[in-house]
Amino acid sequence: MPDLKSWNLWHGRRKYSEGCENCYMYYLDAVRSVPARSSEIRRTGDFSKPLKRDRHGMFKIPAGYCLRINMTSDTFLEEADEWRNEMWQIIRRRPDVRFYILTKRVPRIAECLPADWGSGYENVELNITCENQRAFDERWPIFEAIPAKHKGMNLAPLLGAIDIKPALQSGQIESVCLGGEGIGGRRPCHYEWVRQISQDCMHFSVNFTFNATGAVFVKDGKRYLIDGQVLQAKQAYLSGLSCFFSSPTYKLYHPVDGHLLSEDELMHPVYNAERCITCSSLETCIGCVDCGSCTNVSLVSMNDIKQMRKDKGLVRQG
By three-state DSSP, how is residue 284 classified?
Answer: helix
- Are 224 and 269 a contacting pair, CB within 8 Å? no
Q: Spell out a b/e string for 166-198, using b for 16 or more CB atoms within 10 Å of the CB, else e.
A: ebbeeebbbbbbbbbbbbbbbbbbbbebbbbbb
**Residue (267 or 289) nearer to ligand SF4, CB:** 289
All residues at 6 or more sequence positions from 134 whose CB lies less than 8 Å from its CB, including other chains: 18
**Residue (16 or 244) nearer to ligand SF4, CB:** 244
- Are 245 and 206 a contacting pair, CB within 8 Å? yes
For the CB of residue 33, give the shortest distance to ligand SF4 in the complex, in Å.
22
Q: Is 113 exposed, middle or buried (0-12, 13-18, 19+ CB in 10 A)?
A: buried
**Residue (133 or 298) nearer to ligand SF4, CB:** 298
By three-state DSSP, how is residue 128 classified?
Answer: strand
1: amino acid identity, one letter: M
Q: Which residues pair with 100 in a beta bridge?
A: 68, 125
**Residue (34 or 285) nearer to ligand SF4, CB:** 285
**Residue (88 or 208) nearer to ligand SF4, CB:** 208
- In angstroms, the CA 245 to CA 284 distance is 10
- In angstroms, the CA 181 to CA 158 distance is 7
For the CB of residue 251, give the shortest distance to ligand SF4 in the complex, in Å.
23
For the CB of residue 210, give the shortest distance to ligand SF4 in the complex, in Å.
12
Closest CA to 195 of 153, 229, 161, 234: 161
For the CB of residue 125, give the shortest distance to ligand SF4 in the complex, in Å.
16
For the CB of residue 294, give the shortest distance to ligand SF4 in the complex, in Å.
3
**Residue (101 or 305) nearer to ligand SF4, CB:** 305
- In angstroms, the CA 148 to CA 122 distance is 8
**Residue (46 or 290) nearer to ligand SF4, CB:** 290
For the CB of residue 296, give the shortest distance to ligand SF4 in the complex, in Å.
9
- Are 49 and 7 a contacting pair, CB within 8 Å? yes
**Residue (252 or 282) nearer to ligand SF4, CB:** 282
By three-state DSSP, how is residue 78 classified?
Answer: helix
- Are 179 and 236 a contacting pair, CB within 8 Å? yes
Q: What residues line the site for ligand SF4 (CB under 6 A)?
A: 271-272, 275-276, 279, 281-282, 285, 287-291, 293-294, 297
How crowded is the C-beta side of 52, counted as CA atoms within 13 Å? 11
For the CB of residue 108, give the shortest distance to ligand SF4 in the complex, in Å.
28
**Residue (144 or 283) nearer to ligand SF4, CB:** 283
For the CB of residue 287, give the shortest distance to ligand SF4 in the complex, in Å.
6
